[in-house]
A = this chain, B = another copy of it.
Amino acid sequence: MREIVSQKLALAMADDCIAFRVRALNRVITNLYDTVLQPFGITVNQATMLIMLSLVGEATSARIGQVLIMEKSTISRNLDRMKKQGWIESSSRDRGREQFVRVTPAGRELLAAFHPNWETAQLQASELLGDNGVSAVHTLHAAVRKKHPV
């Protein structure tokens, strides 16, 4: 009896679960990008941070978190790895507890270097998701953005 009940619940959850679907989507898409970026020794996550920093010039950890919707401890450790690679550096504009980081020339070179591969991944992702799928992704991101304003 309990088994029948849990079966029905399981079926309902499997049919509707948003998290499962978003997570599977994330794994597949992340893999596409990580695969094409792998020759450059950078992950798609770090590439995203590099792109964002390149755009804004320099930013604090907290600012990166707002823009990219990332947790501060994740950012702290990722910045460490990127500094070790020489792609970013601490800015001289630090004041007190705030530490500004900016992209180094090597970081900018890397960004230009991996751009074609990023295009490849974009193309693969677009083909996989279709035009409607791609705009859906933008719309979905805009929706979560509302709850995490920049």
Spell out A's residues near B (CB within 8 Å). 2-3, 5-7, 9-11, 13-14, 16-30, 32-33, 44-45, 48, 51-52, 54-55, 68-70, 105, 108-109, 111-112, 115, 118, 121-122, 125-126, 128-130, 132-134, 136-141, 143-144, 147-148
Residue numbers in B under 8 Å from A32 (CB-CB): 19
Residue numbers in B under 8 Å from A140 (CB-CB): 21, 25, 129, 133, 136-137
Q: Known interface pairs A68-B24, A136-B136, A139-B133. Does A19 touch B13 (Cβ–Cβ under 8 Å)?
A: no
User: How far, in whole Å, are A134 and B16 apart by their CA atoms in the complex?
Assistant: 9
Is A54 touching B6 in the complex (CB atoms < 8 A)?
yes
| Contact among B2, B7, B18 for A134, CB-based, below 8 A | B18
| Contact among B44, B121, B136, B148 for A23, CB-based, below 8 A | B44
User: How far, in whole Å, are A102 and B72 apart by their CA atoms in the complex?
Assistant: 38
User: How far, in whole Å, are A104 and B11 apart by their CA atoms in the complex?
Assistant: 17
User: How far, in whole Å, are A21 and B44 apart by their CA atoms in the complex?
Assistant: 11
How far apart are A107's CB and chain B's nearest CB, in angstroms?
A: 9
Residue numbers in B under 8 Å from A10 (CB-CB): 51-52, 54-55, 111
Is B24 touching A30 in the complex (CB atoms < 8 A)?
no
How far apart are A142's CB and chain B's nearest CB, in angstroms?
A: 9
